[in-house]
Amino acid sequence: MADVMRSGSAEEPNEAEQHGGAPDDSGDAPRRRKPKEKKKGSFWRELPILIVTALVLTVLIQAFIARVYVIPSQSMEQTLHGCDGCNNDRVLVDKITYRFSDPEPGDVVVFRGPQAWVQNEFRADEPTNPVAGFFQGVAGLLGFGAPDEKDFVKRVIAVGGQTVECCDAQNRVLVDGKPLNEPYLYWEPGRGVGQDEFEAVTVPPGHLWVMGDNRNDSADSRVQGGGGVPGAVPVDNVIGKAQFIVLPPTRWQGIDDPNPQQQALGMGAPAWQTGLPVGFGVAAAFPTVWLGRRLVGVVSKRRASE
């Protein structure tokens, strides 16, 4: 009986034979999945998204960090070039510096003209074609269009609480009775080398007294609003500090901002304030380079996969 039981158990079919097939070797060699077909043209579908993203970032950067402005007048010659029929300078205006400090004498600033400033140094022609007007507005946002006629660029001469007047026996502007050292002055041929005199003006608190480097061809605090206190510019109207000339390429350079009062009054920006723009530049450089490399990598992979 035991022999019968052993014989019966030996003849029992295994699991593979019960299913009528060969032993399953799926555990030893996993099945290979067919690679998914890559979608063609995905790069071109994503390209408009990349372009729109870049444009949005450009607008945000120019609204809060820095913006390119066109110099359309001769009032800042020869520090900044601007004239009819020539290749006007385009300058990068830093909007971060004055979030941590106030404008100081010698700074070249871009600002919105106060209500009293009715004499514009330039006027942007408004296109009659609405399509052309749209593209001009977009170009303005990107820093390549005509500038706003109410924006000005000048150099800070005196700040709130200081008294400014012109001139002493050596044709120098005085601040608090002391002469300024102005190496940036330019005397345009045919306009003389003597500055127009004006009575002493005490700059109101929170305001700036600004003048052009081309001293005899500049509609600035001396004449705007009839001169005097109405010619002063509120600090709140300052858009930013002109830091670099970015176009044309032959003019690439930083914009000098020597303090004209430093020799007479011993004034100067604290070291920590002077280093702020550089610090922000270094801090922003690393993530910018990293993002740029990632973007280039994504684009290269997309193009290689097509």
Which residues does the annotation mark as catalytic? 75, 154
Q: Give the integer Cα–Cα distance in Å for 196 and 113.
A: 22
Query: Is-contact 210 154, C-beta < 8 A?
Result: yes
Q: How far apart are CA 78 and CA 206, in angstroms?
A: 29
DSSP 231: G
Q: List residues bridging with 69 in a β-sheet.
A: 91
Cα within 13 Å of Cα(147), Cβ side: 25
Please report, in angstroms and rounded to a whole number, the separation of the first and last CA atoms in the chain: 74
**Residues forming beta bridges with residue 207, ordered by sequence position:** 234
Please give the helix or strand (H or E) that residue 272 lies within, else none. Answer: helix 271-274
Q: Give 83-103 as a DSSP string.
A: -TTS---EEEEESSGGGTS--
* Contact yes or no for 153/69 (Cβ under 8 A): yes
